């Protein structure tokens, strides 16, 4: 197939820097259903199970109205179907409504952003009350204490919108490229935090990317909260290699160099350096080409143990994904199957092949 993978002999072999497999024990425990555990509470000694990713539940902050709480200005809600019906079973929500938090209540007068010499102000449409100072103070406090794996904001809200929020001069919108006051502070203080709004999550690729990131952040959080050793860090990184590579090869290299400093850097410095590289990698978009690269690396690890027919089938499936003919779930499922059959534990345990609960069915879209 032109431009694709013509045979298993063309599949990439793993790079020379791979760390030998060192699996973590399978005794991890699920996170508490309580979305806000006591600060400083450690996770179990080995929070990462040897297979699967569902045992670590992401903590996700969310605009309260999106999960059905009646906090909108009109006393209603904006319950989102995906969040409240599909994702709800797998995450622990941390609901936040900035307007309620600063004492505005529900129902309340509607607010908008108004242009001002010192930046946008949050103004009541009828009373002209200025809520900017209270909202800024709450945003600063919440950003300082925020300990979550992702955040879903209410789209277009003057407090929570992450893009496209109108800025007014009088009754006329003069700029529609703004963020809400509260969301802007959260995003500025946590630039690597996975953030979306419910509107953008209607896009299959953005939805899949967001969910992948919150589960990866949750695994990292659980791991760094545990009583980990340098050996454990090697095992954690080994399981995430292909997932990081698919997003950002440069940050993947930085993460590997951080792991190589285990035993040299202090525990605190090592965690900070590795965590930053890990989160940076996941913040980059995983392109089709990078997915193909990761798939080929995995295939190279098991190719020699497959018979010619299965090798060719795997190569053609990866080529079909590269050509936009099948979804990513197809070659990923085939790799998991072949790795199980051949006992290729290194490949089978890669989080890349199952980055979140399979029941969410988020990799079933065909790339454009």
CA angle (197, 359, 205) in 5-degree steps: 40
Q: Where are the alpha helices (DSSP H) in 177-266?
A: 181-189, 204-224, 230-247, 249-260
Partners of 61 in beta bridges: 94, 151
Residue 55 has pLDDT above 80, yes or no: no
Cβ(223)–Cβ(232) below 8 Å: yes
Cβ(141)–Cβ(82) below 8 Å: no
Mean pLDDT for 13-32 is: 34
Q: What pLDDT was estimated at residue 264?
A: 93
pLDDT band at 6 (very low <50, low <70, confident <90, very high): very low
Mean pLDDT for 355-364 is: 95
pTM of the model: 0.85
Q: What pLDDT was estimated at residue 23?
A: 31
- Residue 45 in tokens: 């000694």
Q: Mean pLDDT: which of 53-57, 173-177, 290-294, 363-367 is highest?
A: 290-294
Residue 58 has pLDDT above 60, yes or no: yes
3-state class (DSSP) for residue 233: helix
All structural domains of the chain with their residue ranges: 1-47+225-368, 59-199
pLDDT tens-digit readout, 85-120: 999 999 999 999 999 999 999 999 999 999 999 999
pLDDT tens-digit readout, 291-329: 999 999 999 999 888 999 999 999 999 999 999 999 999
Residue-wise burial string across 292-310, b where 16 or more C-beta atoms lie within 10 A, e elsewhere: bbbbbbbbbbbbeebeeeb
- Residue 12 in tokens: 């990439």
CA dist list (Å): 348 to 50, 58, 300, 334: 10, 22, 13, 11
pLDDT tens-digit readout, 256-297: 999 999 989 999 999 999 999 999 999 999 999 999 999 999
- CA-CA distance, 245 to 263, in Å (whole number)? 24
Residue 40 has pLDDT above 50, yes or no: no
**Stretch among 28-42, 56-70, 141-155, 235-249 having the lowest mean pLDDT:** 28-42
Please state, for a pLDDT cut of 70, what percent of the chain lies above it.
85
């Amino acid at each position: 197939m032109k431009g694709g993978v013509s045979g298993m002999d063309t599949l990439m072999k793993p790079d020379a820097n791979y760390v030998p497999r060192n699996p973590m024990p399978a005794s991890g425990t699920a996170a508490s259903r309580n979305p806000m555990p006591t600060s400083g509470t450690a996770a179990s000694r080995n929070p990462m199970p040897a297979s699967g990713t569902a045992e670590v539940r992401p903590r996700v902050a969310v605009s309260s109205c999106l999960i059905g709480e009646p906090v909108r200005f009109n006393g209603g809600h904006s319950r989102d179907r995906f969040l409240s019906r599909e994702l709800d079973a797998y995450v622990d929500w941390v609901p936040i409504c900035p307007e309620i938090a600063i004492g505005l209540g529900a129902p309340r007068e509607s607010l908008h952003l108004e242009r001002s010499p010192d930046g946008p102000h949050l103004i009541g449409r009828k009373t002209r009350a200025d809520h900017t100072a209270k909202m800024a103070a709450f945003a600063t406090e919440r950003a300082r204490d925020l300990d979550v794996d992702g955040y879903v904001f209410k789209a277009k809200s003057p407090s929570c919108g992450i893009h496209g929020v109108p800025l007014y001069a009088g009754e006329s919108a003069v700029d529609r490229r703004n963020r809400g006051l509260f969301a802007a502070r959260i995003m500025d203080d946590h630039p690597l935090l996975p953030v979306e709004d419910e509107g953008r999550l209607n896009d299959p690729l953005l939805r899949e990317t967001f969910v992948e990131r919150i589960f990866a952040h949750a695994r990292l959080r659980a791991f760094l909260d545990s009583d980990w050793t340098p050996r454990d860090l090697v095992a954690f990184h080994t399981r995430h290699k292909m997932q990081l590579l698919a997003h950002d090869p440069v940050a993947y290299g930085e993460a590997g160099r951080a792991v190589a400093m285990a035993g040299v850097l202090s525990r605190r410095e090592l965690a900070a350096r590795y965590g930053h590289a890990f989160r940076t990698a996941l913040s980059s978009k995983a392109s089709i080409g990078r997915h193909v690269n990761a798939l080929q690396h995995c295939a190279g690890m098991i190719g020699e143990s497959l018979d010619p027919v299965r090798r060719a089938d795997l190569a053609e499936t990866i080529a079909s994904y590269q050509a936009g003919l099948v979804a990513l779930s197809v070659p990923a499922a085939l790799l998991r199957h072949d790795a199980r059959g051949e006992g290729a534990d290194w490949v089978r345990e890669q989080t890349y092949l199952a980055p979140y609960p399979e029941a969410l069915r988020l990799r079933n879209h065909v790339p454009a």
